[in-house]
Structure 1
Amino acid sequence: MPQARLQARTLFISDVHLGSKDCKAEFLLHLLKRIEVERLYLVGDIVDFWAMKKQMFWPAEHHQVLQQLLKMAKQGVEVIYIPGNHDEVMRKYRHPDVASIRIQKQAIHTTAKNQRLLVMHGDAFDAETCHSQWLSLIGDHLYDVVMFLNRQTHKLRKKFGHNYWSLAAYVKSQVGKVEQVIGHYRTAAVREATKRKLDGIICGHIHRPEITKTDGKLYVNTGDWVENCTAILESADGELHLLRYTDATMTKSAEEAQVLNRGREQQHAT
């Protein structure tokens, strides 16, 4: 698989859940090391303080992801950190800048196409959409079992040379009411963008990656690095792309990566 550098204007990632056994830090670390980007948005739940309260878990790869983020910030990448509910303690941080990383409750991002997009984690919509319903549908304990099986499935597939496949995401997709809850979440997010007279919204929180248009507004969900291993990338021409990582390789073809790089070159040429 190609290991060429990937160039882009902006990268959006969320729901990494460092400190959780379910975090796929190795995939994210590979992406961060190979991408050249002007701006990076950390859209919440980067560190899972909830999980670490239950059990302390901090392997070397989790530390390396943090080190890589700090390195990128020091090298001139504009890093904007928008805390989520699992790292909400950072919302109370009094200093807006930490090691060259700017902490904000939310942001408005303007793409190269002059689209103005609200960037926020998305837990603010819980009261309206009852996002926690999908957890109650299968039960907290059952979800823990599913995530345990997800880890074991990944280990087994890796042993036999197969790419990562999310058992957890598959199970959730089979629960019909989960799709209904996600639809309510999408509607609430688009409503917020409309209320603010923006062109759309980029959020995370529900671990369901997506780029779509709803009621004329752009709805973008970054997904996660627990189940789906996804990020949103803005190319030089302002187009948004959903990237998936499995076993340190991108499922997007090498040709698509070249298109992104070519867009950047054309922008510099003009």
Structure 2
Amino acid sequence: METVSEARHFRTLFISDVHLGSKAAKTDFLLDFLKTHEAETIILVGDIVDGWRLKRSWYWPQSCNDVVQKLLRKARKGTKIVYIPGNHDEFLRGFPGTHFGGIEVAERMVHEMADGKRYLVLHGDEFDVVVRNARLLAYLGDWAYDTAIAINVLLAAVRRRLGMPYWSFSAWAKLQVKHAVNFIGEFQKVVADEARRNEVDGVICGHIHHAVMEDIDGIHYVNTGDWVESCTAIVEHFDGRLELISWADRVGAATKRSEPEPMVKVSIPGLTGPADNAGVRAA
């Protein structure tokens, strides 16, 4: 995979929806991004670990450990890291104010930019009616998303063989459905309303895997996107200016390893215990 070797430095880096523990997580892309992007503060905006999938079937290759270790290493070197759990890693919501290896857990926060503007930062699942009011439907939707991701992997392999550029079927399918029910627009409006109630200038969220920056009735709405399909992040420059970075566009098409990665033994609070790890293959 092509990499961009020159490191860039920012005041703040916002990342969400990595879904570690999911076979769809583009950990190689994220590791490459973290190696070439330094920040004084990193805010993880939810769904970094995919607890839903890990509970169904254990999948934790070395690359997932590498991402965690990379973040912990940055924290040890002085980077402030705040973890705001989402619905897929909701097991961490019981630990607000707790530090894990220098990473602080928070339910939500208000981040002040270098130019003085204040942004509410939250994952956003509390404004998704399906997740909030119908957990069974949410899990069924998650299953359908897994199926779309599996189709996406197959199509990506075929397109690579034909010399065609990377294209995400899952992103396309999701966008068609959600545009049909006007979900994205409604979600953005409700989240912007929450920012207005908190008397801030903008809001930064994740959850719907749709990266965008736009003005909604005077509120700057920012969605970080994801590291499953689009591989996007939001960065704050030292003058307070925000930029949306699409890393997949920068480094080219993703590559898929022909051999399955070895499983590694880990322990995640609220998710794993001795019995859970007993059958995990050690690296």
- Equivalent in the alignment of 2:112: 110
Q: Shift of the alpha carbon at 1:182?
A: 0.8
AA at the equivalent of 2:188: R
AA at the equivalent of 2:62: A
Q: Shift of the alpha carbon at 1:93?
A: 2.1
On the 8 A contact 1:26/1:61 being kept in 2, the answer is: yes
- Equivalent in the alignment of 1:262: none
Specify whether residues 176 and 59 from structure 1 end up closer, same or farther in structure 2 by C-alpha distance, changes over 3 A only: closer
On the 8 A contact 1:163/1:247 being kept in 2, the answer is: no
- Cα distance in 1 for residues equivalent to 2:227 and 2:181: 20
Q: Which moved more, 1:33-42 or 1:152-161?
A: 152-161
Q: Shift of the alpha carbon at 1:156?
A: 3.7
Instruction: List aligned pairs for 1:70-81, cutoff 5 A.
Output: 70-81=72-83
SS at 1:143 equivalent:
helix
Q: Which moved more, 1:119-128 or 1:227-236?
A: 119-128
Q: Shift of the alpha carbon at 1:95?
A: 5.7
Query: 2:183 aligned with 1:198, yes or no?
Result: no
On the 8 A contact 2:27/2:64 being kept in 1, the answer is: yes
- Cα distance in 2 for residues equivalent to 1:45 and 1:51: 11
TM-score calculated relative to the size of structure 1: 0.84
Q: Deviations over 1:167-193 (max 9, x none)?
A: 111122223645611111101100001
Q: Shift of the alpha carbon at 1:42?
A: 0.4
- Equivalent in the alignment of 1:187: 189
- Cα distance in 2 for residues equivalent to 1:47 and 1:139: 18
SS at 1:198 equivalent:
coil
SS at 2:199 equivalent:
coil
Aligned length: 249
- Cα distance in 2 for residues equivalent to 1:143 and 1:19: 15
- Cα distance in 2 for residues equivalent to 1:193 and 1:128: 21
- The alignment's C-alpha RMSD in Å is 2.6
- Equivalent in the alignment of 1:227: 229
Specify whether residues 160 and 143 from structure 1 end up closer, same or farther in structure 2 by C-alpha distance, changes over 3 A only: same
Q: Deviations over 1:102-140 (max 9, x none)?
A: 11001111111111000001011123997989x88x966
- Equivalent in the alignment of 1:61: 63
AA at the equivalent of 1:63: N
Q: Shift of the alpha carbon at 1:43?
A: 0.5
Gapped regions of structure 2 (runs ≥ 5): 254-283
Q: Could you tell me which of 112, 125, 128 is aligned with 2:127?
A: 125
TM-score calculated relative to the size of structure 2: 0.80
Q: Could you tell me which of 4, 8, 28 is aligned with 1:26?
A: 28
Specify whether residues 236 and 60 from structure 1 end up closer, same or farther in structure 2 by C-alpha distance, changes over 3 A only: same
- Cα distance in 2 for residues equivalent to 1:245 and 1:113: 26
Q: Shift of the alpha carbon at 1:249?
A: 1.8
SS at 2:247 equivalent:
strand
Specify whether residues 121 and 147 from structure 1 end up closer, same or farther in structure 2 by C-alpha distance, changes over 3 A only: same
Aligned-residue sequence identity (percent) comes to 43
SS at 1:164 equivalent:
coil
On the 8 A contact 1:8/1:236 being kept in 2, the answer is: yes
- Equivalent in the alignment of 1:259: none
Specify whether residues 95 and 38 from structure 1 end up closer, same or farther in structure 2 by C-alpha distance, changes over 3 A only: closer
Instruction: List aligned pairs for 1:93-172, cutoff 5 A.
Output: 93=95, 96-127=98-129, 141-158=143-160, 163-172=165-174
Q: Shift of the alpha carbon at 1:236?
A: 1.4
On the 8 A contact 2:10/2:236 being kept in 1, the answer is: yes
Gapped regions of structure 1 (runs ≥ 5): 252-270
On the 8 A contact 2:96/2:106 being kept in 1, the answer is: no
- Cα distance in 2 for residues equivalent to 1:132 and 1:166: 28
